Amino acid sequence: MRYFPLLILSALCSLQINAQSQKFGLQDFYTYNSELEYTVDSIYHTLSERQQVAQMIISSAGELGKPMTTVKKLTESDAIGGVVFLKGSKKTHTESINTLNEISSKNKTLPLLFSMDAEPSLFASRIKGAKDVGKTIDIKTEAQSDAVVNTINTELREIGVHHNYAPVLDISASNEAIKSRSYGSNKDSVISLANQFIKCTQEGGIIATAKHFPGHGLVKGDTHKQSVYIDGPLQEVANYKQIIEDGVLSIMIAHITIQNNEKYGTDGLPSSCSRKIITGLLKEEMGFKGVIISDALNIMKAVTILDNAPLLASKAGCDLILMPQNEQTTINAILAEMKTNPAYKKQVTQSVKKVLRLKVCGGVI
C-alpha cells in the first residue's frame, strides 16, 4: 500500500469536511484555479498506476448490491474509487459508510466517493424509513422541486453520500423503465424542472447527475431486460444542451442502441460503449467537460451480453465505470489496454484526474 506525502495526507485524514473548512466547492469544478490544479496533480502522482485506474471503478453495496465483506476487501485492496448504495436503511447505510471510511483512513488511501440513486421516485426505496417525497412525475413547480431536493440532500449528507444519480431528463412517463421517474411528456417542463433539481442539489453540496443520455424516454423496452433501440433521430439529446450550459457535474449514459441513424448509429453497441456517442457527441459536439458515468454494467441485459463491456465503456469515454461484474478484472483489462494504446492511456489519465477533481471539489478529499 502506498503512503501519501504529508501535504496530501493532511487532507485525506479529514474524511468529513464541512462546508466552512472545505477549501474548494462544487462551484469550482469548471473554473480554472492553479491551486486546485496543483492539488489534483499532487494527489494523482502519489498513486500507482493500478490505484489510478481504481479511481474509475464504482462498486455497489446495500441489500441489492455486493456483500459488505466483499466491498470491505475491495476497499482494503484499493481496488475501487467509490460505492453506490442500493436498497437499505439509513442506519445500515451510515454504518457501512463509516466502516469504509475507517478502512480508507487506516490504510492511508483515498476516501471513496459514495453515491445513490436518490431520485424522488426511488428515494423511499433507497433509504427505507426516510420521508417519502413523492414521485418525480408529480413535481410541477420549482418551489416544489426545491423542497424535495432539500429533503433528499439533508438525508444524503447525514448518511455521508456525495453523489446523487438524479435527475432523469427522459421525456414521457410511459416508458417501461422510466414511468413515474420522468417529469412528464412536456419537453420544456422536463428541462426546466430537471435543471432546477440540478441547481438546488449542487448548491447543497451534492453532485447531481443528468440521465439517461442520449434519451431513454421515447423508446420501447427496458435495458435491464433486453437491448433497447432508438430507431432513427435522437429526439431527446437537445434536453441536455441547457443542462450542460448551466453546469451539471455528471451525466449518465444509457445502454440504448441507436440504429437507422447515419451519423449516430452505434453499430450494434449500446450508447454506453459507443465512442461515437460519448466522445464524439457528448464531449466534442456538445462540449461536456464534466464526469461521465456508465449505467450499471452488472445486471442490465443490454450490456451483460457483451464481452468486456466495462473496458468498452471506458474506451468510449466513460470516466466512471458503474458496477462492473468484477472490479479487479476490469482494472486488469484497462491496464492491459493502456500498455498497447498510448491514446487510451492519455484518456484514462484525463478520466482519473476528473474523478479526483470531483472528489476534491465535493469535499471527499
Q: One digit per residue, pLDDT tens: the chain, 365 residues? A: 443 443 343 334 333 334 446 899 999 999 999 999 999 999 999 999 999 999 999 999 989 899 999 999 999 999 999 999 999 999 999 999 999 999 999 999 999 999 999 999 999 999 998 989 999 999 999 999 999 999 999 999 999 999 999 999 998 766 666 788 999 989 999 999 999 999 999 999 999 999 999 988 777 665 566 678 899 999 999 999 999 999 999 999 999 999 999 999 999 999 999 999 999 999 999 999 999 999 999 865 567 677 789 999 999 999 999 999 999 999 999 999 999 999 999 999 999 999 999 999 999 99
Question: What is the sign, positive or negative, of the torsion defined by CA atoms of 317, 319, 324, 326?
Answer: positive
Question: What is the sign, positive or negative, of the torsion defined by CA atoms of 325, 330, 360, 246?
Answer: negative
Alpha-carbon distance 159 to 98, whole Å? 9
Beta-bridge partner residues of 116: 85, 164
Alpha-carbon distance 330 to 333, whole Å? 5
Residues with Cβ < 8 Å from 350, sequence gap 6 or more?
Answer: none
What pLDDT is attached to residue 228?
Answer: 82
User: Mapping DSSP to helix (H, G, I), strand (E, B) and coil, where does residue 222 land?
Assistant: coil
What cell does 353 get? 484526474
- Cβ proximity of 220 and 228 under 8 Å: yes
User: Mapping DSSP to helix (H, G, I), strand (E, B) and coil, where does residue 258 land?
Assistant: strand
- Cβ proximity of 171 and 187 under 8 Å: yes
- What is the homologous superfamily of the domain 128-361 according to CATH? Glycoside hydrolase, family 3, N-terminal domain (3.20.20.300)
Quick one: how far is CA 339 from the chain centroid?
Answer: 26
Beta-bridge partner residues of 168: 211
Alpha-carbon distance 235 to 293, whole Å? 21
Q: Using CA atoms in the order 121, 127, 128, 129, what is the torsion angle rounded to 10 degrees?
A: -100
What cell does 251 get? 451525466
In the chain, where does DSSP find H-type helix? 6-12, 34-46, 49-54, 68-76, 90-107, 120-126, 142-159, 187-203, 239-245, 275, 301-304, 309-316, 327-340, 342-361
Alpha-carbon distance 279 to 66, whole Å? 30
What pLDDT is attached to residue 301?
Answer: 58
Alpha-carbon distance 345 to 339, whole Å? 8
Residues with Cβ < 8 Å from 12, sequence gap 6 or more?
Answer: 4, 104, 105, 108, 109, 110, 111, 365
Domain ranges of the chain: 128-361
Residues that are catalytic? 224, 295
- Other beta carbons within 10 angstroms of residue 96's beta carbon come to 22
- Other beta carbons within 10 angstroms of residue 208's beta carbon come to 29
What pLDDT is attached to residue 205?
Answer: 97
